[in-house]
Amino acid sequence: MEEKVNQMPMLGDAFPELKVKTTLGPMNIPGDYKGKWFVLFSHPADFTPVCTTEFVAFQKQMHEFDKLDCKLIGMSVDQVFSHIKWIQWIKSELDVDIKFPVIAANDAIAMKLGMLHPGKGSSAVRAVFICDPAGKVRLIMYYPQEIGRNISEIVRAVKTLQISEKGVAMPADWPNNDLIKDRVIVPPATDMKTAEKRLSEYECYDWWFCHKELDK
């Protein structure tokens, strides 16, 4: 009999429906976030140094996610009471009040989201899922347990995904790209007539590499 394998979501897939326990009560994800962007990020374990630095960093940049109308959701396979105690410790010892919900996942949920990698032991890796208002997965990142995430890059990723909805592409290191600074890339022409017009319509290195100011 063929063994059933959990298929983790891929880019463009609907985020799997999860009924979960969190530090803010039971939730349905992505249903409770319909119409909102959200970032769901997992951490290996409560009461660990790297995870603590990440939670503090996420909370301190929560205002940047709020500007983008994007919600934060934490997750690990620890139980809710462990999450609560850890959050209380962060507040009392580091003076940071964690406002976003933290999911108490089980192994089935962790496997469904690709958080358990056999080569990295039994702890969940640091996964990041950025989802759009329709609940579709738009970006995925995985980090090993020993490497903390760059929260500013996650903010930038949400911002660039939202801008790309306008039918443009985003250059490396936007808004500080070496070639075009904070400008955005016009999708390449796909027919001869459009290609011939491109050089007169936009600033270009060639017809297949044109760029413009970001529409405000």
At residue 123, the pLDDT reads 60
Catalytic residue chosen out of the listed positions 51, 70, 131, 210: 51
**% of the chain with per-residue pLDDT over 90:** 76
Q: Is 51 a catalytic residue?
A: yes
Least confident window among 85-99, 108-122, 202-216: 108-122
At residue 194, the pLDDT reads 93
Least confident window among 40-49, 98-107, 120-129: 120-129
At residue 4, the pLDDT reads 43
* CATH number assigned to the domain with residue range 166-216, chosen from the 4 options 3.40.109.10, 3.40.30.10, 3.30.1020.10, 3.30.70.260: 3.30.1020.10
At residue 53, the pLDDT reads 97
What pLDDT digit, counting tens, does each position of 145-168 carry? 889 999 999 999 999 999 999 999
| Contact criterion met (CB below 8 Å) for 31 and 16 | no
The terminus-to-terminus CA distance of the chain in angstroms comes to 57
**Is pLDDT above 60 for 16?**
yes
Name which of 54, 119, 124, 120 is nearest 90 in CA terms.
54
Q: Tell me the CATH number for domain 18-148.
A: 3.40.30.10
| Greatest mean pLDDT range, 75-79, 176-180, 185-189 | 176-180
pLDDT, mean of residues 35-59: 95
At residue 44, the pLDDT reads 87
At residue 5, the pLDDT reads 47
| Contact criterion met (CB below 8 Å) for 42 and 8 | no
**Is pLDDT above 50 for 52?**
yes
At residue 122, the pLDDT reads 53
Transcribe 71-140 into DSSP letters: EEEEEESS-HHHHHHHHHHHHHHH-----S-EEE--HHHHHHTT---GGG-SSPPEEEEEE-TTSBEEEE
* pTM for this prediction: 0.90
Q: How confident is the model at residue 7 (pLDDT cuts 50, 70, 90)?
A: low
At residue 76, the pLDDT reads 86
**Residue 127 in tokens:** 């996964």
Q: Where are the domains of the chain?
A: 18-148, 166-216
* Mean pLDDT, rounded, of the chain: 90
Least confident window among 54-68, 124-138, 166-180: 124-138
Could you give the CA distance from residue 147 to residue 66 in angstroms, rounded to a whole number? Answer: 25
